[in-house]
Amino acid sequence: MNKRIINLFFVLFLAVPAFSQTTANLKKIAPFNIKLTNGQQYTSAQLSPGPVVLIYFSPDCDHCQAFTQDMIKNYSAITNKQVIMVTFQAMDMLQPFAKKYKIAQYPNIKIGTEGLSYTVQKYYGIRSFPYIAIYDKQGNLVKTYEGEQPHAEIFKTLKKY
């Protein structure tokens, strides 16, 4: 019995560091490469130091539309952050969305498509929209939200960082 317990602890002792190494990669922002609505490419390497909010969404998603509308209404929560809005949808779906919410008026918001590479979607293992990843000034992952979530809670978290 004691040997089994010792073996179990030994296996757990070895497994924990291995797990930590795989989850450590998710603590940094996805290596995105998106095409902005103005046609320019924008990558994670172009981010400035400071807090970042990555939002993975679909322009035809009702929850994504509601969140975007509330985000614009609560702009003070993101005013000092780089906001990166990424979709896999084609530009012909993205441009009307960006125009509807007047995203171009907000210089700290970049909106674009990663196309069918699904790099960001795979990186985070996204299953539902919107997916929101919040990073602090040092670039460390603070919190994620997936799917329909209380917007007030998200904005409260955003104001902390």
Instruction: Express each pLDDT in 10-69 by its tens digit.
Output: 334 444 333 333 344 568 999 999 999 999 999 999 999 999 999 999 999 999 999 999
Q: What H or E segment, with its residue span, contains residue 97?
A: helix 91-100
What contacts 71, CB < 8 A, 6 or more positions away? 77, 78, 83, 151
How many other CB atoms are found less than 10 A from the CB of residue 143? 15
Predicted pLDDT at 134: 97
Burial class (CB in 10 A: 0-12, 13-18, 19+), 112: buried
Structure tokens at 74: 């609560």
Contact 88, 121 (CB under 8 A): yes
Instruction: Express each pLDDT in 103-134 by its tens digit.
Output: 999 999 999 999 999 999 999 999 999 999 99
Give phi and psi for 102, each to the nearest 5: 50, 45
- 48-52-58-61 Cα dihedral, nearest 10 degrees: -150
d(CA 161, CA 146): 19
d(CA 136, CA 31): 17
* Tokens 């985070």 -> residue: 124
Instruction: Express each pLDDT in 72-97 by its tens digit.
Output: 999 999 999 999 999 999 999 999 99
Does pLDDT of 6 surpass 50? Answer: no
Predicted pLDDT at 26: 61
| CA neighbor of 54 nearest in space, from 99, 96, 114, 102 | 114
pTM: predicted TM-score of the whole model, two decimal places: 0.84
What residues form DSSP beta bridges with 134? 53, 143
Does pLDDT of 136 surpass 60? Answer: yes
Instruction: Enumerate domains of the chain plus CATH numbers.
Output: 28-160 (3.40.30.10)
